[in-house]
Structure 1
Amino acid sequence: MLGGGDPGDPFAAAHGVNVKPLIPVGGVPMALHVLRALRGSDRVGRVAYVGPTTPDLDPLIDIRVTDHGTLLSNLEAGVEALRELGLTPGERVLVVTADVPMLRPEEVRDVLDAAPLDAGLVYPVVRREVCEAAYPGVKRTYARLKDGTFTGGNLFLLDPALIGQFLPRLREVLAARKAPLKLAGLIGWDVLLRLLTGRLRVQRLEEKVSGLLGVKARALITPHAAVGTDVDKEADLTLAEAQLRGASGAR
Structure 2
Amino acid sequence: MLARQLGVPAKALSPICGEPMVNHVLRSLLDAAEVGRIVILAQDMDRLRTPKTEWIWHEKRIAFRDSGGSISQSIASIAGSAEVPWPILVTTADHPLLTPEMVSEFLAEASRSDVTVGMVKQETVMGAYPDTRRTWLHFEDGAFSGANLFALSSARVEPALALWAEAERDRKKAFRLFWHFGPRLAFRAITRTISFDDALEQAGRNIGLTAHLALLSEPEAAVDVDKVSDLNLVERIMRRAVYQDDGAVGRRSEVDHISA
TM-score for both structures, normalised by structure 2 = 0.80
CA gap 1:137/1:110 in 2 versus in 1, 3 angstroms: same
2:234 corresponds in structure 1 to 240
Whether the 8 Å contact between 2:87 and 2:151 is mirrored in structure 1 is: yes
Shift, 1:173, TM fit: 3.5
1:64–1:101 Cα change, 3 Å:
same
TM-superposed deviation, 1:186: 4.0
Partner of 2:92: 97
How far apart are the structure 1 equivalents of 2:149 and 2:178? 26
Structure 1 residues 104-123: aligned runs within 5 Å: 104-115=99-110, 117-123=111-117
Greater strand share, structure number = 2
Q: What is the deviation of 1:144?
A: 1.6
> 1:85 aligns to what?
83
Which residue does the alignment assign to 2:145? Answer: 151
2:249 paired residue number:
none
Q: Structure 1's 219 and 16: CA in aligned 2 closer, same or farther, altered over 3 A? A: same
Residues in 1 aligned to 2:177 and 2:103: alpha-carbon distance in whole angstroms: 32
Is the contact made by 1:21 and 1:98 (CA closer than 8 Å) also made in structure 2? yes
Q: Distance in 2 between matches of 1:45 and 1:143?
A: 32
Query: Residue 166 of structure 1: CA displacement?
Result: 2.2
1:165 pairs with 145, 149, 159, which one? Answer: 159
Residue 33 of structure 1 corresponds to 24
Task: Tell me: CA distance 1:241–1:78, structure 2 relative to 1, closer, same or farther (3 Å).
Answer: farther
Q: How many residues align?
A: 236
User: Superposition RMSD on alpha carbons, in Å?
Assistant: 2.7
1:166-205 counterparts in 2 under 5 A? Answer: 166-174=160-168, 186-205=180-199
In the alignment, which residue of structure 2 is the partner of 1:4?
Answer: none
The corresponding residue for 1:226 is 220
1:38-73 Cα distance to aligned partner (Å, 9 max, x none): 111121011001123331433445210113231212
- Report the AA paired with residue 26 of structure 1: C
What letter is aligned with 2:82? E
Distance, in Å, in 2 between the alignment partners of 1:214 and 1:249 is 48
Evaluate the alpha carbon distance shift between residue 235 and residue 85 of structure 1 in structure 2; reply closer, same or farther with a 3 A threshold.
same
**2:57 corresponds to which residue?**
58
Q: What residue is the counterpart of 2:67 in the other structure?
A: 67
Question: Alpha-carbon deviation of 1:113?
Answer: 2.1
After TM superposition, give the deviation of residue 19 of structure 1 in Å: 1.7
CA distance in 2, matches of 1:120, 1:13: 38
Residues 115-155 of structure 1: per-residue CA shift (max 9 Å, x gap): 2x241100111100111122231111111211121112201
Change (3 A) 1:59 1:212: farther
Q: Where does structure 1 lack aligned partners over 5 or more consecutive residues?
A: 1-9
Does the 8 Å CA contact 1:102/1:226 hold for their aligned counterparts? yes
Q: Which has the higher contact order (CA 8 A, sep 6+)?
A: 2
Which segment is superposed worse, 101-110 or 163-172?
163-172
- Percent identity between the two aligned chains: 28
Residue type at the aligned position of 1:101 = P
